[in-house]
Amino acid sequence: MKKMLSFLERYVVAIVIALLFMLVELAVELLQPYLISKIIDDGISMHHFPAVIQWGAVLVGCSFLAFAAGIVNSFYAAHVSQGFGYDVRERLYEKVQSFSFANFNRFPVSSLITRLTNDVTQIQNTVFMSLRIAMRAPLLIIGGVMMAFVVNAKLALFLVLTVPFLVAFLFWAMNKAGALFRLVQERLDAVNGVMQENLAGMRLIRAFLRKHREMERFALASEDLMARTMAALRFTETTMPVILLLMNASILAVLWFGSGEVRAGGASVGEVVAVINYATRMTAALSVFTMIIMAFSRARASAHRIADVLETGGDLEDGDGETPSTRMKEGSVVFSSVSFQYPGTRVPILRDISFEIRPGETVAILGATGSGKTTLFQLIPRFYDVQEGSILIDGIDIRTMKLEQLRRLIGYVPQEVLLFTGTVKENIAWGKEDATMEDIVEAAKRAQIHDTILKLPKQYDTVLGQRGINLSGGQKQRLSIARALVRKPLILLLDDSTSALDAKTEALLLNALKLYRCTTFMITQKISAAMSADTILLLEDGKLLAKGNHAELLNHSALYQRIYQSQFGEEAVRHVQGAK
């Protein structure tokens, strides 16, 4: 919560003004009973009609004043809440952009998105509400008591007496309700969890006849949710009758002692009426209380979730970047005894990996899922830092380079293709803002996607994504490759990026890649693609099992032989061995 308040500092002036104008509104509202008492006492009781008109006119004038103040308050309140939302959102987004991959593993993408969207909106609305409604209640209570004092100090004492009780009760209720609603939220998450799981695993549940078990699980979670919700709602709804009772009791007291005062000449009838009027106004202002409790407990949860993100420290230290970029134009890559495990886990993913790749070589990486291929890839652009050993590009430890400088050297094509909403052209040029049309077309041609693009309705200007057309998996893969190629990278990383391509296109693509003077790493499952590589790295359980070209591995590695066999059949192996 503190963190959120610091965002409001910039708006202190506007907040003060908004509150001031709200005070004007409140003052008018609080003046009303006073003015009415004047109308009654000076005018009607005295049979003095001009006084009625006079005070009536003051009342109308004040109303318009309040209206004008209210309009100005609207402007300032909206400015504060929108500005606040804007600032929080921006800080949050910048923070997320500075996240390392390890940070990302801590927060699921879906949760980050909700935090940036729903949670910010939630707090923003609460800020707006505070400036408009929530602050009213306390101010009205204070003002009401003060005005009551002005009208008649003795009678006002009864209102004052109730205030400490009221405040204590409200604070207690607010805290308790907050805790209750947190429990509700937890249970709701549990219910949704079961539901989500059932929808996703419906087929399996049917197949294994586990319907009744799942229903029991759901009923249990659901009953729990029901009980918690009832408890929370019933609690908050109890506050209102209690407040009413408290305020009404003070009205009774005012009536009783008021009548005594009137008889003794210590108070006028109009004053009694006015004080009672203040009491009812205070009660009415408190009626929004249930709503405020709920809004605040939600806002508090949101604030926590946002602060959680903002307080996450980045764990990748940027290099000092003193390396002149002119030194890195070869593209040799050296892994020297690299070991790695994901932060927060105990199992090492890569163990003692060492190899040297000369500039311009093509490297194929093979291995079972979970053997560490993708992890190895992610170490090269420094998405994660190695725990032991080092990675050198052209002899320079990548940890001493500036992250941006390092990543500019690399063209990365991830396993899951991710395109952005926009045209084909924009998507290819995404990797290089200053790419010319020639650059784009050249990259598309090399990625074997140029012909396909020309067949699209608007060629390079065709819009992709949700609002545009959908490409097939293979087309997307090639576009993603073109995006990496347009950067003319020194090192190209292809993470199983040709899986959806047919053999012919794949071969053409691999040939075209040879035109680039870049060191290419590709993760692949296909022996056919690996065969053309200069070096094959075979990984198993995070260790480098074998290294060499196709012929060497076929001779020395049992695992490689088995893979080869499974893809080409036993005859092929016999054929190869026979030929030898």
Hey, which residues between 360 and 389 contact other proteins (CB under 8 A)?
366-371, 381, 383
CA distance 164 to 275: 18
171 binds other proteins (CB under 8 A): no
Q: Which is nearer to other proteins, 225 or 441 (CB)?
A: 225
- Indicate which single residue of 1, 161, 167, 503 sits in contact with other proteins (rule: CB under 8 A): 503
- Indicate which single residue of 2, 263, 455, 580 sits in contact with other proteins (rule: CB under 8 A): 263
472 binds other proteins (CB under 8 A): no
Q: Which 10-29 positions form the footprint of other proteins (CB under 8 A)?
A: 13-14, 17, 25, 28-29
Q: Which stretch binds other proteins (CB under 8 A): 52-60, 168-176, 307-315, 453-461?
A: 52-60
26-35 burial code (b ≥16 CB/10 A, e <16): bbbbbbbbbb
The angle, 0 to 180 degrees and rounded to 10, between the axes of the packed helices 136-151 and 153-200 is 170
Q: Which 99-128 positions form the footprint of other proteins (CB under 8 A)?
A: 99, 101, 104, 109, 112-113, 116-117, 121, 128
559 binds other proteins (CB under 8 A): yes
* Phi and psi, residue 340, nearest 5°: -155, 140
Tokens of 529: 């693609």
Q: Give residues with Cβ within 8 angstroms of 499, minimum separation 6.
A: 477, 524, 525, 526
CA distance 398 to 323: 10
Q: Closest approach of Cβ 360 to other proteins, in Å?
A: 21
43 binds other proteins (CB under 8 A): yes
Cα of first residue to Cα of last residue in the chain, in angstroms, is 73
Q: Which is nearer to other proteins, 44 or 150 (CB)?
A: 44
Q: Closest approach of Cβ 164 to other proteins, in Å?
A: 20
Residue 293 and residue 239 in contact, taking contact as beta carbons nearer than 8 Å: yes
64 binds other proteins (CB under 8 A): yes
Q: Which is nearer to other proteins, 358 or 496 (CB)?
A: 496
60 binds other proteins (CB under 8 A): yes
By CB under 8 A, how many residues form the interface with other proteins? 166
HEC secondary structure over 208-247: CCCHHHHHHHHHHHHHHHHHHHHHHHHHHHHHHHHHHHHH
Q: Which 281-300 positions form the footprint of other proteins (CB under 8 A)?
A: 284, 290
CA distance 554 to 366: 13
CA distance 557 to 538: 9
Q: Which stretch binds other proteins (CB under 8 A): 154-162, 329-337, 345-353, 444-452?
A: 345-353
Residue 431 and residue 487 in contact, taking contact as beta carbons nearer than 8 Å: yes
- Indicate which single residue of 49, 172, 354, 454 sits in contact with other proteins (rule: CB under 8 A): 49
Q: Which is nearer to other proteins, 304 or 407 (CB)?
A: 407
337 binds other proteins (CB under 8 A): no
Q: Closest approach of Cβ 524 to other proteins, in Å?
A: 9
Q: Which is nearer to other proteins, 88 or 386 (CB)?
A: 88
CA distance 262 to 267: 5
The DSSP code sequence of 316-330 is: -PPP---S-GGG--S
Q: How many CB atoms lie within 10 A of CB 524?
A: 22
160 binds other proteins (CB under 8 A): no
Q: Which 483-502 positions form the footprint of other proteins (CB under 8 A)?
A: 483, 487, 502
298 closest CA partner among 106, 125, 132: 125
Q: Which stretch binds other proteins (CB under 8 A): 138-146, 355-363, 437-445, 528-536?
A: 528-536
Strands 388-393 and 543-548: unpaired
477 closest CA partner among 495, 457, 455: 495
Most distant CA atoms of the chain, gap in Å: 126
CA distance 552 to 550: 5
Q: Closest approach of Cβ 428 to other proteins, in Å?
A: 12
Q: Which is nearer to other proteins, 263 or 455 (CB)?
A: 263
* Phi and psi, residue 418, nearest 5°: -125, 110
74 binds other proteins (CB under 8 A): yes
Q: Which 174-233 positions form the footprint of other proteins (CB under 8 A)?
A: 188, 191-193, 195-211, 213-215, 218-219, 222-223, 225-226, 229-230, 233
262 binds other proteins (CB under 8 A): yes
Query: DSSP secondary-structure letter at 132?
Result: I
Phi-psi map region of 488: left, alpha, beta (phi>0 left; psi -120 to 50 alpha): left
Q: Closest approach of Cβ 159 to other proteins, in Å?
A: 15
Q: Which is nearer to other proteins, 134 or 225 (CB)?
A: 225
- Indicate which single residue of 3, 176, 185, 280 sits in contact with other proteins (rule: CB under 8 A): 280
What count of residues does the chain have? 580
Strands 362-367 and 519-523: parallel
- Indicate which single residue of 19, 24, 27, 76 sits in contact with other proteins (rule: CB under 8 A): 76
Q: Which is nearer to other proteins, 358 or 575 (CB)?
A: 575
Q: Closest approach of Cβ 391 to other proteins, in Å?
A: 16
Q: Closest approach of Cβ 248 to other proteins, in Å?
A: 4
- Indicate which single residue of 8, 66, 155, 391 sits in contact with other proteins (rule: CB under 8 A): 66
CA distance 63 to 65: 5
Give me the amino acid identity at 555: N
- Indicate which single residue of 4, 8, 19, 62 sits in contact with other proteins (rule: CB under 8 A): 62
Q: Which is nearer to other proteins, 85 or 143 (CB)?
A: 85
- Indicate which single residue of 23, 163, 531, 573 sits in contact with other proteins (rule: CB under 8 A): 531
Cα distances (Å, whole numbers) of residue 194 to 46, 186, 211, 229, 274: 74, 13, 13, 18, 57
Tokens of 238: 């109890």
Tokens of 255: 């009536």
Q: Which is nearer to other proteins, 191 or 512 (CB)?
A: 191
Q: Which 423-452 positions form the footprint of other proteins (CB under 8 A)?
A: 430-431, 433
Q: Which stretch binds other proteins (CB under 8 A): 265-273, 323-331, 389-397, 442-450?
A: 265-273
Q: Closest approach of Cβ 142 to other proteins, in Å?
A: 19
